[in-house]
């Protein structure tokens, strides 16, 4: 099977072309050793099937980024039968810069002139025939977005791939032409493959080449000693770049015939940017868009119709029976869309999925297991252990996907690059660049894709800092902890407002993240924030097919990672809470003898400064169990609470406190249990704070490990999470329970800040 | 003058880039080269959006002070 590689600039439509060519055969992997996506697929319409590899988006074949090295090594070492170079026709000169470098390699090259429709729409025209003549390789006009010209492209590439092609350079007329020629002859003599490419790179004194051809590089250095240019001095790299651009604008650019009008016609994109990146309105507009996304995904009162028009609830409409159950299936369906307020699309999808699909399915399966006549422990394991675990994971899927969908739209339309730009100034104050914003905001959905998204950050230290604070942006799985515990506080004290507590907890997470980044960037992760250079691609409507492919990728990733780990962990928790150290199966009532309870009671004193340790009564250990279970997956916290509450109530360990509550009503049982432990409001809030900022979950930990690269960075990250959550939760508890301690905290923080400032001043002096 | 002070919507020429090699190379790849043409599309508080060879590129304050145009 022949092998073609797709090469091109970022944002040139390469991935769209790849998706159109390969369709369902595509799969995503990783390039060995680096966290850059590797996409491969098969094209089937040529006489012989063709394997297609999508190289990462690059501007050049220099060795400065992992993407460039990957693309370069692939073309040189794996020797594809043909390189299809995608060129964004709306930005011809810049894109041809890469083309001139690819053409120096001895490989068949075909240029795919993409986005021709956009060029023609502007009233401009490109003479592809003329460009083909001047470049010396086939040029095919295509529109990847509309699927135009793809078959012709592949046919020509297929035909061309069976020919031998020798590399050609555009540096023939430059001052360095002789040197390049001499080096090439020398390399040829050493039987080096692709001598022209290596010769040019060697003249540029490219670090990889210098390493590879230590002897030959002397030729370059000797020549350099005798050479000086007025503008560039002896910087050959800049000289070569300049020569390429000069050649391109003189010889290739004229194939573009611009419409005869004044030079500064602003495109539609420029006009949109006037508003969307406006220095005053840019940020407010973005906040409105962000709020709209969260509203559409999470709001249970769409457009606040319910609050504004005082819509009646289903109960008021008489659609519930005496027990508060739905009258019929139709009402149940209606309850997914409306109950005193119209739900937002995200919530509707979520409810339909959870109440109808997942709920019914697992209810049916659970009944089946119970009726099967298996032993009690097996029924317990399957129903409470496995099925509940599965349902817990699946229940978060819809809202996370809806959130992803919106973010994919922002990304595909080109707006995301603008957001990074307008936020850059603000983020710089904390020691981050605007690019780190995207992963952080994604953290509100799920930490896993958020951590993967940090790949867009070029600076390793900035990336580490971002990965570490991502879990502070409270993810979907942490929301139930907030709502359940905050709800308990409200019901219980009769004062306050659950919304307010939830909101301030989100805020606490964000503030902690900012402080943590400031701290890290001033101590362990010191370094300059990299300069912000970002291409702003032209706005375009996102394409449905692409969005679905994005979504499918992310859903697969999420389900695969979360499924395996959470499923395993729920089984383990169930086993540990139903077996004693003597490995004897325990009834629900005996849960306090279980392995889990014993370990938690042992660890309980550790949590005393956090308000849920030794100071609590007999059942105080449930908080420790929940927190530990939460290290595996945050869904486990409330799940563990409800399991434990059910066991404790059934076992009669909790009495009084109005325990006529049905054991099945999970949240009420949880509240009764929390009540029975005697924990105070400060302790509860500290418990939430601890769960929000500690080690996120196994799946996220595994992702962090993969993304951080070095073992040291990963271990420090784990340590950071534990320390941060311990400090934050202690602060919340002690200040809440004993307000005078605020003075101690202020003194401690001030001392730390003074130490860091003094130390950095010292370091700066030494450095200077 | 540094590009941060440059007038909007005027064709300018890059005369000097003061930056480390890596940044310089990245700018070169994006088409920002010595002697190249550049147009400022918008400028707000030091950050600028420029048009280079038909591409739009955003630069932060730090960089916009280091690219000199005439």
Query: Residues A206-232, buried b or exposed e (16+ Cβ, 10 A)?
Result: beebbeebeebbebbeebeeeeeeeeb
- A692 with A586, same domain: the answer is yes
Contact at CB, A421 and B49, closer than 8 angstroms = yes
Q: Which of A60, A279, A531 sits opposite B29 (nearest CB)?
A: A60
Residue A502 lies in a domain: yes
The domain in which residue A552 lies consists of 414-526+545-737
Q: Nearest residue on chain B to A425, judged by CA atoms?
A: B60
| pLDDT given at position A84 | 96
Q: Judge contact between A128 and A91, C-beta under 8 A.
A: no
Q: How many CB atoms lie within 10 A of CB A425?
A: 18
- A367 with A310, same domain: the answer is yes
Of the three residues A140, A161, A182, the one that is the final residue of a domain is A161
Contact at CB, A531 and B44, closer than 8 angstroms = no
Gyration radius (Cα) of chain A, Å: 31
User: Taking residues B33-59, what's their average pLDDT?
Assistant: 87
- A148 with A247, same domain: the answer is no
Contact at CB, A273 and B54, closer than 8 angstroms = no
| pLDDT given at position A658 | 44
- A140 with A76, same domain: the answer is yes
Contact at CB, A238 and B36, closer than 8 angstroms = no
Q: Judge contact between A138 and A167, C-beta under 8 A.
A: no
- A312 with A421, same domain: the answer is no
Domain of residue A252, CATH code = 1.10.287
- A307 with A348, same domain: the answer is yes
| pLDDT given at position A238 | 84
Residue A151 lies in a domain: yes
Residue A424 lies in a domain: yes
Measuring CA to CA, how many Å separate A742 from each of A401, A500, A612, A730?
42, 22, 19, 11
- A15 with A73, same domain: the answer is yes
Residue A97 lies in a domain: yes
Residue A266 lies in a domain: no
| pLDDT given at position A726 | 94
Give the three-state DSSP class for B51: strand
Inter-chain Cβ pairs, chain A and chain B, closer than 8 A: 115
Q: Nearest residue on chain A to B39, judged by CA atoms?
A: A264
Chain B CB within 8 Å of residue A90 CB = yes
| pLDDT given at position A657 | 44
Contact at CB, A97 and B56, closer than 8 angstroms = no
**How many residues belong to chain B?**
70
Chain A CB within 8 Å of residue B70 CB = no
- Rounded CA-CA distance A203/A216 in Å is 10
Contact at CB, B58 and A94, closer than 8 angstroms = no
- A129 with A247, same domain: the answer is no
- A401 with A419, same domain: the answer is no
Domain of residue A131, CATH code = 3.40.50.300
Give the three-state DSSP class for B69: strand
Q: Report long-range pairs for A148-157 (Cβ below 8 Å, ≥24 apart).
A: A148/A117, A149/A112, A149/A116, A150/A17, A150/A20, A150/A21, A151/A45, A153/A84, A153/A110, A153/A112, A154/A21, A154/A43, A154/A45, A154/A46, A154/A50, A155/A46, A156/A110, A157/A4, A157/A82, A157/A84, A157/A108, A157/A110
Map out the domains of chain B with their CATH numbers: 3-69 (2.30.30.90)
Contact at CB, A270 and B23, closer than 8 angstroms = no
**How many residues belong to chain A?**
768
The dihedrals phi and psi of A237, each to the nearest 5 degrees, come to -65, -50
- Give B10→chain A minimum CA distance, Å: 9
User: How many domains does chain A fold into?
Assistant: 4
- A660 with A586, same domain: the answer is yes
Contacts of A677 (CB under 8 A, 6+ apart): A616, A617, A619, A620, A622, A623
The dihedrals phi and psi of A727, each to the nearest 5 degrees, come to -65, -45
Q: What is the mean pLDDT of each run of 10 residues along chain A (768 residues)?
A: 92 87 78 73 92 91 84 93 94 91 95 89 88 94 90 94 91 88 91 92 88 87 84 82 88 83 67 86 88 80 82 82 78 85 86 84 87 82 77 73 84 86 84 84 82 81 92 84 78 67 83 91 83 85 83 77 70 82 78 83 89 80 86 79 74 52 54 78 90 87 85 92 94 91 92 90 79
Which 8-state DSSP code applies to residue A739? G
* ipTM associated with this complex: 0.91
Q: Nearest residue on chain A to B19, judged by CA atoms?
A: A531
Which residues of chain A neighbour B49 with C-beta distances below 8 Å? Answer: 273, 277, 421, 536
Higher pLDDT among residues A596 and B59, named by residue: B59
Which residues of chain A neighbour B41 with C-beta distances below 8 Å? Answer: 266, 270, 273
Higher pLDDT among residues A481 and B56, named by residue: B56
Contacts of A585 (CB under 8 A, 6+ apart): A377, A578, A579
- A591 with A606, same domain: the answer is yes
Q: Which of B22, B34, B56 sits opposite A535 (nearest CB)?
A: B56
Q: Judge contact between A110 and A135, C-beta under 8 A.
A: no
Contact at CB, B58 and A59, closer than 8 angstroms = no
Q: How do the residues of chain B divide into helix, strand and coil, expressed in percent and rounded to 5?
A: 25, 45, 35
CA dihedral A340, A344, A349, A350 (to 10 degrees): -70
Q: Nearest residue on chain A to B42, judged by CA atoms?
A: A274
| pLDDT given at position A265 | 60
Contact at CB, A60 and B52, closer than 8 angstroms = no
Give which of B27, B23, B26 is closest to B14, Cα–Cα: B27
Q: Which of residues 6-35 of B touch A (CB under 8 A)?
A: 9, 11, 19, 21-31, 33-35
């Amino acid at each position: 099977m022949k092998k073609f590689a797709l090469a091109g600039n970022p944002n040139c439509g390469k991935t769209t072309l790849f998706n159109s060519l390969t369709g369902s055969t595509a799969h995503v992997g990783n390039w060995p050793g680096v966290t850059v996506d590797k996409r491969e697929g098969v094209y089937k319409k040529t006489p012989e099937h063709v394997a297609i590899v999508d190289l990462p988006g690059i501007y050049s074949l220099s060795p400065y980024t992992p993407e460039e090295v990957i693309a370069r090594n692939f073309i040189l070492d794996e020797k594809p039968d043909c390189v299809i170079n995608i060129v964004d026709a709306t930005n011809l000169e810049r894109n041809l810069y890469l083309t001139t470098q690819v053409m120096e390699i001895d490989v068949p090259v075909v240029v795919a002139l993409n986005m021709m429709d956009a060029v023609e729409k502007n009233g401009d025209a490109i003479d592809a025939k003329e460009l083909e003549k001047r470049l010396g390789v086939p040029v095919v006009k295509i529109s990847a977005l509309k699927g135009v010209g793809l078959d012709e492209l592949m046919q020509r590439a297929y035909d061309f791939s069976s020919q031998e092609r020798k590399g050609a350079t555009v540096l023939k007329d430059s001052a360095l032409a002789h040197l390049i020629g001499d080096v090439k002859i020398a390399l040829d003599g050493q039987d080096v493959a692709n001598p022209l490419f290596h010769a040019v790179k060697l003249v540029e004194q490219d670090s990889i080449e210098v390493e590879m051809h230590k002897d030959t590089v002397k030729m370059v250095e000797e020549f350099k000693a005798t050479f000086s240019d007025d503008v560039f001095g002896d910087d050959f790299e800049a000289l070569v770049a300049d020569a390429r651009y000069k050649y391109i604008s003189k010889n290739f650019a004229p194939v573009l015939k611009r419409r005869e009008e004044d030079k500064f016609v602003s495109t539609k994109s420029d006009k949109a940017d006037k508003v969307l990146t406006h220095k005053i309105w840019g940020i407010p507009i973005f906040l409105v868009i962000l709020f709209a996304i969260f509203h559409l995904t999470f709001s249970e009162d769409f457009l606040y119709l319910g609050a504004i028009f005082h819509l009646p609830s289903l109960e008021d409409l008489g659609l519930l029976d005496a027990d508060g159950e739905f009258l019929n299936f139709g009402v149940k369906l209606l309850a997914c869309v409306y109950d005193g307020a119209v739900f937002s699309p995200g919530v509707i999808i979520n409810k339909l999925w959870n109440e109808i699909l997942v709920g019914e399915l697992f209810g049916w399966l659970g009944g089946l297991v119970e009726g099967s006549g298996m032993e009690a422990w097996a029924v317990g394991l399957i129903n409470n252990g496995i099925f509940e675990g599965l349902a817990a994971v699946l229940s978060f899927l819809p809202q996370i996907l809806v959130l992803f969908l919106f973010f994919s739209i922002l990304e595909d339309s080109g707006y995301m690059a603008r957001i990074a730009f307008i936020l850059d100034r603000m983020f710089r104050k904390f020691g981050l660049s605007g690019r780190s914003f995207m992963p952080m905001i994604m953290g509100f959905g799920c930490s896993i894709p958020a951590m993967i998204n940090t790949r867009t950050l070029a600076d390793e230290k900035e990336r580490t800092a971002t990965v570490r604070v991502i879990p502070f942006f409270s993810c979907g799985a942490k929301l139930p902890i907030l709502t359940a515990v905050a709800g308990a506080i409200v019901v219980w004290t009769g004062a306050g407002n659950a919304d307010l507590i939830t909101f301030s907890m989100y805020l606490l997470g964000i503030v902690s993240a900012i402080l943590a980044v400031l701290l890290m960037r001033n101590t362990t992760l010191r370094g300059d924030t990299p300069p912000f250079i970002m291409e702003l691609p032209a706005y375009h409507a996102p394409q449905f097919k692409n969005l679905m492919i994005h979504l499918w990728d992310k859903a697969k990733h999420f389900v695969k990672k979360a499924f395996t780990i959470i499923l395993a962990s729920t089984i383990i928790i169930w086993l540990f809470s139903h077996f004693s150290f003597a490995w004897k199966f325990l009834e629900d009532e005996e849960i306090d003898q279980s392995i889990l309870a014993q370990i938690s009671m042992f660890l309980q004193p550790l949590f005393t400064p956090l308000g849920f340790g030794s100071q609590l009564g007999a059942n105080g250990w449930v908080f420790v169990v929940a927190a530990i279970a939460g290290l595996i997956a945050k869904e486990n916290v409330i799940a563990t609470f409800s399991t434990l509450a059910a066991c404790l109530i059934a076992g009669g360990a909790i009495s009084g406190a109005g325990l006529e509550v049905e054991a099945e009503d999970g949240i009420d049982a949880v509240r009764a249990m929390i009540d029975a432990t005697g924990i105070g409001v400060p302790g509860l809030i500290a418990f939430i704070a601890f769960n929000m900022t500690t080690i996120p979950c196994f799946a996220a930990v595994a992702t962090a490990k993969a993304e951080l690269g070095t073992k040291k960075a990963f271990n420090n990250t784990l340590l950071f999470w534990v320390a941060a959550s311990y400090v934050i939760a202690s602060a919340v508890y002690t200040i809440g329970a004993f307000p005078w301690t605020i003075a101690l905290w202020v003194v401690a923080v001030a001392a730390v800040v003074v130490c860091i400032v003094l130390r950095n001043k010292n370091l700066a002096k030494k450095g200077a | 003058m540094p590009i941060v002070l440059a007038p909007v919507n005027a064709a300018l020429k890059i005369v000097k880039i003061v930056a480390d090699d890596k940044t310089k190379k990245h700018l070169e790849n994006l088409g920002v080269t010595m002697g190249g043409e550049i147009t400022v599309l918008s400028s707000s508080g030091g950050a600028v959006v420029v048009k280079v060879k038909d591409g739009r590129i955003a630069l932060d304050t730090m960089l916009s002070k280091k690219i000199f145009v005439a």
